[in-house]
């Protein structure tokens, strides 16, 4: 039997008082590029004052937790090194279940992975001539042909292969560049193999690593991406909050399939500090929440009334759109262009 389609949840209390740990994605949630998201440091400080633990969770295995935390501190975010959890740390823990303590592991990556391996009592090496018993691969800007070749030599011997993540691209100051997923693809093409384990979002190891390190009993994933942050949280059975300060826009939110829908949605991290009500459907088929009302008429999403609370508007149009797709099928077409008149892009 198929699970019921996912819709938004409801919380009468602010989320920071309901959940004991907010697992925060970084780029698009806390910062964008080199700058903090507007008001993010103050909102995170206020959330922590409500009693929620903050964990800064990243798929990027290039930087050490200290480097990530230092970056956050420079942006005005109160972050200890121990508040950061990386896919490199999750990958290192996975390796411990595959190889004996003290084993040599070939690192197709950089210092983030090397430090994580040493933390777990494993020895990082950079050549197959050292006879490593496993390969771990994560993004680092210095990875080139020589290191990829060493990885290929080792993988052809049949050793276990753990990838930190499969993100095809990575954002840089100059634009979008190839990410670890693209480099994993190089070794897949050269060896005919696929990684035995993927540690980062949307896969489970990074979520589990965060829960272990924070002792969370009721974690909340906070992210800006439907395909990694939200989909991964759903796969792990965790609740999630989508914020609209990163890559997901309102049109993408409206199109989200059931397996990628957040339980809560907010334009910003302010959503951690507020209660969340759920839109209700009226007898005429329209969905409403406070002063907002939205309906789907002849394949077009129409906002009939607007209100002062933009988060309530976001929730209203999302639920109206999701109901349309659940009733009509994923191949149906819903025109959401009218939302640009309410929330212009950029």
Which residues are catalytic, by number?
Answer: 25, 27
How would you classify residue 299: left for phi > 0, otherwise alpha for psi between -120 and 50, otherwise beta?
Answer: left
Say if CB 296 and CB 288 are below 8 A apart.
no
Going by C-alpha positions, the residue among 337, 220, 343 that lies closest to residue 276 is: 220
Rounded CA Rg of the chain: 22
- Cα dist from 119 to 64, 72, 90, 116, 122, whole Å: 11, 22, 11, 5, 8
Strand partners, 106: 125, 135
Say if CB 138 and CB 180 are below 8 A apart.
yes
C-alpha of 63 from chain center: 17
Strand partners, 27: 31
- Cα dist from 18 to 207, 241, 265, whole Å: 19, 13, 15
* Helix axes of 180-191 and 145-155: crossing angle, nearest 10 degrees: 50
| Cα 56 to Cα 93: distance, rounded to the nearest angstrom | 18
Going by C-alpha positions, the residue among 8, 17, 18, 22 that lies closest to residue 219 is: 22
Strand partners, 266: 243
| Cα 286 to Cα 88: distance, rounded to the nearest angstrom | 47
> Parallel, antiparallel, or unpaired for β 239-243 and 219-223?
parallel
Element (H, E) at 292: strand 292-297
Going by C-alpha positions, the residue among 261, 278, 248 that lies closest to residue 330 is: 261
């Amino acid at each position: 039997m198929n699970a019921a389609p996912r819709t938004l949840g409801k919380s009468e209390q602010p989320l920071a008082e309901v959940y004991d740990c907010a697992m925060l994605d970084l780029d698009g949630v806390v910062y964008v590029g080199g700058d903090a998201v507007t008001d993010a440091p103050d909102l995170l400080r206020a959330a922590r004052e409500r009693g929620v633990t903050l964990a800064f969770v990243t798929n990027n295995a290039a930087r050490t937790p200290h480097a990530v935390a230092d970056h956050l501190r420079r942006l005005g975010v109160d972050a200890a090194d121990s508040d950061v959890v990386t896919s490199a740390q999750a990958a290192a823990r996975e390796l411990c279940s595959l190889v004996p303590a003290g084993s040599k592991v070939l690192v197709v990556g950089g210092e983030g992975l090397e430090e994580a391996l040493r933390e777990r009592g494993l020895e990082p090496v950079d050549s197959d001539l050292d006879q490593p018993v496993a390969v771990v691969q994560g993004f680092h800007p210095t990875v080139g042909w020589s290191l990829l070749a060493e990885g290929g030599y080792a993988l052809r011997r049949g050793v276990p292969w753990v990838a930190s993540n499969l993100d095809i691209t990575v954002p840089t100051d100059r634009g979008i560049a190839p990410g670890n997923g693209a480099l994993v693809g190089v070794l897949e093409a050269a060896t005919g193999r696929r990684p035995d384990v993927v540690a980062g979002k949307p896969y489970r190891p990074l979520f589990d690593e965060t829960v272990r390190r924070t002792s969370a009993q009721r974690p909340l994933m906070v992210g800006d991406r439907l395909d990694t942050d939200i989909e991964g949280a759903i796969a792990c059975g965790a609740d999630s909050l989508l914020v609209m300060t990163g890559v997901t826009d309102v049109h993408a939110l409206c199109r989200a399939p059931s397996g990628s829908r957040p339980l809560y949605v907010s334009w910003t991290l302010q959503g951690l500090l507020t209660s969340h009500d759920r839109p209700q459907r009226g007898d005429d088929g329209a969905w409403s929440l406070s002063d907002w009302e939205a309906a789907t008429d002849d394949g077009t999403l129409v906002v009939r009334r607007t209100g002062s609370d933009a988060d309530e508007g976001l929730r209203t149009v999302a639920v109206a759109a999701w109901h349309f797709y659940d009733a009509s099928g994923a191949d149906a077409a819903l025109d959401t262009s009218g939302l640009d008149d309410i929330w212009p892009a950029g």
